[in-house]
Amino acid sequence: MNWGSVSEFLAMGGYGLYVWSSYAVVLALMVAEPLLARHRFRKALEQAGDVIENEKDD
């Protein structure tokens, strides 16, 4: 175990701001990208459904 306390862990030997800001950006983008992909997928599924609806109307 490297850390005696939570504050020591957060401080990262004085490099806390650098380490945690890197990890924060990585986490943010790697959560946002799948959400965007899911949004695109759901929209595509919806639009595929509209094709059938339109054919019924014709």
Partner 1 sequence: MSRSIRLFTFAAPSRFYALSGFLLPLLWLSAIGFAVAGLYIGFFVAPTDATQGDAYRIIFVHVPAAWMSMILYLVMAGWAVFGWAANARLASMVARALAPTGAMFTFLALWTGAVWGKPTWGTWWVWDARLTSELILLFLYLGFMALVESIDDVRRADHAGALLALVGAINVPIIYFSVKWWNTLHQGATISMTAAPKMAATMLQAMLLMTVAFWAYSFAVVFMRTRAIILERERQAQWVKDLVAKEAK
Q: Under the rule (CB under 8 A), what is the footprint of partner 1?
A: 1-3, 9, 12-15, 18-19, 21-23, 25-26, 29-30, 33-34, 37-38, 40-41, 43-45, 47-49, 51-52
In the complex, minimum distance from the CB of residue 10 to partner 1, in angstroms, rounded to a whole number: 11
* Beta carbons of 10 and 16 less than 8 angstroms apart: yes
In the complex, minimum distance from the CB of residue 58 to partner 1, in angstroms, rounded to a whole number: 14
* Beta carbons of 12 and 20 less than 8 angstroms apart: yes
Between CA 9 and CA 19 the distance in angstroms is: 11
In the complex, minimum distance from the CB of residue 5 to partner 1, in angstroms, rounded to a whole number: 13
